[in-house]
Every structure is written in C-alpha cells, then in structure tokens.
Amino acid sequence: MTSLPSISFSAASAPKKGCLILLTDKNNTLGTGAKTYGAIVTKAMGAAGFKGGFGKKLDIITPQGTDLDRIIVLGLGDTGELNEHSWLRLGGSIGASLTDVKKAAVVLEIPGKRGPVTPRQATDIAQGLTLSAYRFDHYKTGAKKKKTVATKVSLLTKSAAAAKSLWQSQSGVTDGVMVARDLVNEPANVLTPKEFAKRASSLKKLGCSVEILDEKAMGKLKMQALLGVSQGSRNPPRMAIIQWKGSKKKERPIAFVGKGVTFDTGGISIKPSGGMEDMKGDMGGAAAVTGLMHALAARKAKVHAIGIIALVENMPDGDAQRPGDIVTSMSGQTIEIINTDAEGRLILADALWHCNKKFKPKFMINLATLTGAILVALGNQHAGMFSNDDALSQELSTAGLATHERVWRMPLGPEYDKMIDSKNADMKNSSGRYAGSITAGQFLQRFVEKTPWAHLDVAGTAMNSPRTEVSKSWASGFGVRLLDRLVADNYED
C-alpha cells in the first residue's frame, strides 16, 4: 500500500525546526507571518533568479541563521487567478516536494496581508497532497519497491478546528478516489467479477447495504443481454447493488450505474493484442460508482443513493456469444449482436432497466469506458456526456468545472437513434464507425424510458489519462469527486 502523509491542521505560527514550506506569488511577495524568514528567503529568491509563477519551487537547504533543515518556497503565480482546482494542484506540488521529508510545516499564507488560507482551502490542499502521494505499488517486491517516507504534515490555516472537521468528510471523498484507482489498477486475474463484488460488499463496514446478484439471480430477472456477454468466461458474472440511506426524507433515491467489464478481450470480435492489457481497466465506470458510494457513506452524505455495478468478463470461447446472435434483454427488447466487442452497452442495458424498475430513481447517471470513439472526439480532457435532461446536464457540467473532472455534452437525437435499428431484431449493438460514441448513447437511452438520465463515457478519462499534480498513477479515479460534488451541491437534505 501507498504510504500516505498524515495531515494535521494548525493555526499557530510555524515551528523553528524541520522543513518549512512558504508560499509566494508572481512578484515574490511573502506573507506577514513568514516575516521571520523574510530576509533569508528574499535573498535566496534573488540569488537564484526565482520567480513565483504557479507551481514553481525553490529549495533552500539548511538556511543560515536558523535551526531549520530547509525552507521550500512554492509559487502561486497571480493570486487573483486562484480557484479551487489551484489549491488541489498546490497540494500536489507540496506532496511532490516532501517525498523524502519526515516532518514538515506548511505556512499556508496568501502572500501579502491576507493571512492564512481558509479551512476549505486548507482541506483542498490536504486532498491534493494525499492524492498526489497515491501509488499502485503493492506488486513490486524487494529493491523495486520504492521506499516512501511517511510524512507528517502540519498545515497552517485560519481555523484549525474548522479545517479538522471539514477534513473528516473531505478525506472520505479522497479515500473514495483511491478506492476507484485501486480497482482500476488491479489486474484482471485478481479482480474478477466475484472479487469485485466482494470488495463492493466491504462498503457494509461504512453503513451501506449491499446486495449481490449471481448468475442464477440474474437469470431469474431475465438479464440475457448481460449474461450473453459473460457466457464465454470461466469467471461468473455478478451485479452489486449498493445503497446508502443518509436522507431523512422519504424521497425517491438517486442512482449511479457502472460498467464493470473486468477484462475486455472483445470476445469473438477479438481486439488486436497491442495495448490489450489496458482492458483490465474496462471497469472504470464501476470503480467510480464504488468509490463514490464509499465517499458518500464515509462523509455521511444526507442523501439516499443507489450504486449498481454490472460485473462481467468478455472472453472468446467455445461458449462465447457470436456475431449474429440475437438476445432478449430484461426489458423485452431484442438485440442483434453485430460486434461482441460492443459489450458494455449490453450489460448496461439490463443494469439500467433493473435500476429504473426496482428503485424508480429521481435520476440515473451511468459511467462507462464505453467507446474508443470518445477518445477520438475529446481526448483525455473531458468525459463525453449524453443526456435526455438539460437540468441534470447543467448540474454535471458545473460540478465538472469545480472539481476539474470535466464533461462535455454530446448530441443525441432520432436520426442517430435510427442508426441502431436492426433488420433482424429491435436493435443492433453496433452500427459501425461513424458517430460511434453517440450511437452507443442512443442504445443506452432505449433502456431508461422517461427517467432523467446522463451517460458519461469515461474511456479517455478513467485510465491512462495525462499525469497531473494530483494523479500520478495509470488510474485516475475520475468521476468520484465529480459526482460527490454533484450530490453535495444539489441533492442533500
């Protein structure tokens, strides 16, 4: 396991020993409390030709005339341009500066006379710091395992008590992101549908109720679209239904549904082998839903939320589904399988239908590493968003900007819907390359009826996305902070 920093908050002035981190701005202004070291730091900044642009760093070892081991100066750039995401990124930069430091005090003063950061800014920094320290290294042994130092970090803020109580909930969200990352990084020989369901069951410890459907239970429910995908695998499918009941109101729940293909070979329409190992991450949607449920439960969110994850492995085999096969989904609608590699929409069809019928939710949001085409359209910077509801889309876009887990709305419409009509069944699961992400969205829409719904295609953002200050592993945990924010800002008592 990663060794994560242990974080405390303090309102007292900085200690005189150990490592001290100070903030400055683009004009190299320091905060008033940092005055004690002002002369030393100003001199060092001048001598090094340092300018405090955002993320810039100056390391002053054994500063003369003090008992400190070092002073690290971090730049904030133009303080007028700072937003929530800047604090998260700053936390990441702090984390990167402390990889070999045992104990550090960070003087989080906004340069000039504004004093220390607010508790909320301090906890955003704490979150960035923690997320930046995440590594997936428990399969490395001996010398290959990088030694990490368990850093104790004290963050200076206006009110330590307020920051501490905020961190109690925000660290729950942070943990949720790491739960999602661990699941996505885990190889498919370990994380089978059964093992994933077992890990989802551990959310009971946080007060969730968890129901696991096995193959037989899903057969009774007539989930033949899902079971068809799974039939070529030795690893039997599962569906986990996670509930967090944190609301006092008797309102309808909100629901999140995740694609959990623990490995996607493509099935009989087999994928080329180059890069196929990445398909261990084809459960990024289910991982985000699991991480989100962890977050909501850990911070005791005042909401009734359902998380449903559909877990299968897509393998070629003598028993595998063939192109040309026709399956009857739980909804009764029939599907002609054109391409066994378009499997995500098949499992989601039954999961969304079941979710809608059983829970009559206020809305459903599904997350899925659904199409390679969304990478062609949006790259790694935005998840594709498809929705039948303008208000829900707006809320998601807003939450995306706040958390920097951004979504970009794509079109849906009857002309696209027609593209998936089949000559042999009610619909087909693939209609070729054009508008590949949209036709996948149209397919899902046929299983949500009138319920407000949004589909997030996270194929480009859940895994292998560009490394940032706060995301240094292959798996990003995308979606957990986004949806936690959506809930916090719009759906709690």
Tell me, yes or no, if 345 is annotated catalytic: yes
Binding mask 331-360 for Zn ion (x = CB under 5 A): -------------x----------------
* Catalytic-labelled residue, pool 70, 158, 245, 271: 271
Contacts 24+ apart (CB under 8 A), 328-332: 328/222, 328/224, 328/225, 329/223, 329/224, 329/225, 329/353, 329/447, 330/221, 330/222, 330/223, 330/224, 330/225, 330/354, 331/446, 331/447
> Is 271 designated active site?
yes
Residue 75 within binding range of ligand BES, rule CB under 6 A: no
Least CB distance to ligand BES at residue 222 (A):
23
CB neighbour list of residue 39: distance below 8 Å, 6 or more residues apart: none
Shortest reach from residue 271's CB to Mn ion, in Å: 7
Q: Which of residues 270-299 bind Zn ion (CB under 5 A)?
A: 282
Report in angstroms how near the CB of residue 125 gets to ligand BES at its nearest. 32
Annotate each residue in 259-298 with x if it binds Mn ion (CB under 5 A) or - if it does not, as one string: -----x----------------------------------
Pairing of strands 57-61, 68-75: antiparallel
Express the helix, strand and coil content of the chain in percent, nearest 5 each: 40, 20, 40
Site string for Mn ion, 211-250 (x = CB under 5 A): ----------------------------------------
Q: Where are the alpha helices (DSSP H) in 3-100?
A: 38-48, 84-97
Cβ-contact 130, 5 below 8 angstroms: yes
Question: By the 8 A CB rule, do 425 and 453 touch?
Answer: no
| Footprint on residues 244-273 left by ligand BES (CB under 6 A) | 264
Q: Does 410 bind ligand BES (CB under 6 A)?
A: no
Binding of ligand BES at residue 459 (CB under 6 A)?
A: yes
Question: How many whole angstroms separate alpha carbon 76 and alpha carbon 14?
Answer: 19
Please, what is the minimum distance in Å from the beta carbon of residue 269 to Mn ion?
8
Taking CB under 5 A as the rule, does residue 457 contact Zn ion? no
Q: What does DSSP assign to residue 31?
A: B
- Which among 141, 134, 107, 144 is positioned nearest to 9, based on CA atoms? 107
Q: Please, is 111 exposed, middle or buried when counting C-beta atoms within 10 Å of its C-beta (0-12, 13-18, 19+)? A: buried
We find the least distance from the C-beta atom of residue 347 to ligand BES, in angstroms, to be 10
CB of 90 to ligand BES, least distance (A): 31
Residue 313 is a binding residue for Mn ion (CB under 5 A)? no
Residues 369-388 that bind ligand BES (CB under 6 A): 369, 371-373
Neighbours of 114 (CB within 10 A): 11
Strand 238-245 versus strand 304-314 pairing type: antiparallel
253-272 residues near Zn ion, rule: CB under 5 A: 261, 264
* Ranges within 314-373 binding Mn ion (CB under 5 A): 341, 343
Residue number, 282 or 395, with CB nearest to ligand BES: 282
Question: Which CB atom, from 5 or from 237, has the smaller least distance to Zn ion?
Answer: 237
- What does the alpha-carbon distance between residue 10 and residue 434 come to, in Å, rounded to a whole number? 56
- Residues near Mn ion (CB under 5 A) are 264, 341, 343
Q: Which residues are catalytic?
A: 271, 345
